Amino acid sequence: MGSVYDKMDDRHLDFLKEIGNVGAGNAATALSVMIDRKVEIDVPDVKIVPISKVPFILPNPEELVVGIEMNVKGDAELETLLIFDAAGAKQLLKLLLFGMEVGDLTQLDEMSVSALKEVGNIICGSYITALANFTGLYLDPLPPEVSVDMISAIISEVSLEVAYTEDKIIFIETLLDIQDVKVTGYIFMIPKGEGLEKIFQSMGLM
């Protein structure tokens, strides 16, 4: 039968990028309200990448990153994972915490974790809402979880459930521009079971 990823072509990637653009627009509006600053979010690229290659998307695959994971239940089940590298996470937290500097990412206080969860809620939630609106599927995002580790460890954990059947995931590059502070986010969508097939079938793409 083969993997769904093997059946994908430019139409499927264009659809995923459109979801990304709509989600980014909604997320930018919500983040702007949250921090009372102008926010722009751009989605320059959507790719299908092998899980084993994910760590090498980052400039330094060995450094600690912040991962914000959102599990989605409903008509199609999937995980969404938002990653910020160490420098990006500290820049973002400084903006969210109104100038407070963050030192050690492994010692984040409750306020910092809460701020990151809210960013995950907004960004991942906006993508999921856009996906639900486009497809008509019922998608129910659960509260996000924050982890700090090397990206290889985080991606291994969230992809564990699908690793036996799939070796690829969806990567959505996301550029945040918050009043001239530029932060790169790395969003990974990891559909479970027949989740991806259901998404494409609902759009007549499979």
- CB atoms < 10 A from the CB of 11, how many? 13
Tell me the β-bridge partners of 190. Answer: 79
Domain total in the chain? 1
Amino acid making up residue 132: A
Chain-wide mean pLDDT for the chain?
87
Please state the rounded mean pLDDT for residues 115-144: 92
* φ, ψ of residue 96 in degrees (nearest 5): -70, -30
Residue 164: predicted pLDDT: 63
pTM (2 d.p.): 0.91
What is the pLDDT confidence band of residue 131, given thresholds at 50, 70 and 90? very high
| Residues contacting residue 19 through CB under 8 Å, at least 6 positions apart | 127, 130, 131, 134
What is the pLDDT confidence band of residue 192, given thresholds at 50, 70 and 90? confident
Which residue range(s) make up the domain with 52?
4-202
What is the distance, to the nearest Å, from the Cα of residue 201 to the centroid of all Cα atoms in its chain? 22
Here the CATH number for the domain that contains residue 62 is 3.40.1550.10
Residue 54: predicted pLDDT: 87
Please state the rounded mean pLDDT for residues 48-60: 86
CA distance 167 to 14: 21
What is the pLDDT confidence band of residue 2, given thresholds at 50, 70 and 90? low
The label of the residue with tokens 């500097």 reads 101
